[in-house]
Amino acid sequence: MSVHVVLIDALNLIRRIYAVQERPFLMNNELADNTKQQVLFNTQQACSQALSKILELQQPTHALAVFDSIKPCWRYALYPDYKKGRKKMPAHLADKLIDIQDAFMEQNVDSLISEEDEADDLIATLAIKVALRGQKVTIISTDKCFLSLLNQNIEVYDYFNRRYLDHHYVKEKFDVRADQLLDLWTLTGDSTNKIPGVAGIGQVIASTLLNQYGSLNAILVANDLKSSINEKLKKHTEQIELSKKLLQLKQDIPLGFNLKDIRLTEMSHS
């Protein structure tokens, strides 16, 4: 029987669903105390419904919801401004996560909570491990970082827009191949996570360079670059190294379980 593993970027799903549930109740950007419980209840219901739709659509043999660690991940130690200014999860939602995890478990989908890594790194490690065995993985997330993992065995599905973010999507949106995305973002920076790039190099220049030279390493050793670009790159050597480290998804986290531990029983999506 062929294996199909679905990996859910849990907070990406839950926070987006929560934002939709919260919106009608917001007064001056605040939720009244008496509506918080209502919003949380609605969020949990909507998360359960989303999960059952995902299982129905994907028909996976294995599934797992992956959560971020409670404490700040290793990227903050490398770069304290990582994700600076990003809106924190409301405390009442953070307290509700355990109930949402229980609700997922009712559909036989277990949750993995990292000790010190981001969900992104855990998902990448798992996806690569499964893909290397020639088995199929679908990552459920709207986070663009996973697009760099796309290959014949790994696909990314955007649940909210009901579409696969595939090679065609990557080419259209970023004008590079999926395996060049890491180099692209190292050059341009990643504003959502507050990772700086090379000042003065935006997506158009970066993609043009990558399409011409193939990779960031090839660009850095090229001797026919425009002097203005060459200067920018030389000035940002350390920045480039740091950004690449921050953007690179870990793929070697030791996992304390086997695929059989996250196998779905026939019951769970019948």
Helices (H), the chain: 10-22, 33-58, 74-78, 91-106, 119-132, 167-174, 181-188, 203-213, 216-221, 227-235, 237-247
Q: Is 110 helix (H, G, I), strand (E, B) or coil?
A: strand
Q: What's the sign of the alpha-carbon dihedral 209, 214, 216, 218?
A: negative
User: 4-170 — its CATH code?
Assistant: 3.40.50.1010
198 is in an annotated binding site: yes
Tokens matching residue 235: 């000035």
Spans of all domains in the chain: 4-170, 176-247
- What are the distances in angstroms from CA 106 to CA 6, 101, 212? 17, 9, 51
140 is in an annotated binding site: no
Radius of gyration of the chain (CA): 20
Q: Do the beta carbons of residue 58 and residue 117 sit within 8 Å? A: no
Compute the distance between CA of residue 242 and CA of residue 238 in angstroms, rounded to an integer: 6
Beta-carbon count within 10 A of 87 CB: 8
pLDDT at 257: 84
pLDDT tens series, the chain, 270 aa:
699 999 999 999 999 999 999 998 887 777 888 899 999 999 999 999 999 999 999 999 999 999 998 888 899 999 999 999 888 899 999 999 999 999 999 999 999 998 888 999 999 999 999 999 999 999 999 999 999 999 999 999 999 999 999 999 999 999 999 999 999 999 999 999 999 999 999 999 999 999 999 999 999 999 999 999 999 999 999 999 999 999 999 999 988 888 889 999 764 444
pLDDT at 204: 96
pLDDT at 47: 98
Tokens matching residue 244: 């690449």
User: 176-247 — its CATH code?
Assistant: 1.10.150.20
102 is in an annotated binding site: no
201 is in an annotated binding site: yes
Report pTM. Answer: 0.94
pLDDT at 29: 75
128 is in an annotated binding site: no
In b/e form, how buried is each residue of 44-78, taking b as 16+ CB within 10 angstroms?
bebbeebbeebbeebebbbbbbbbbbeeebebeee
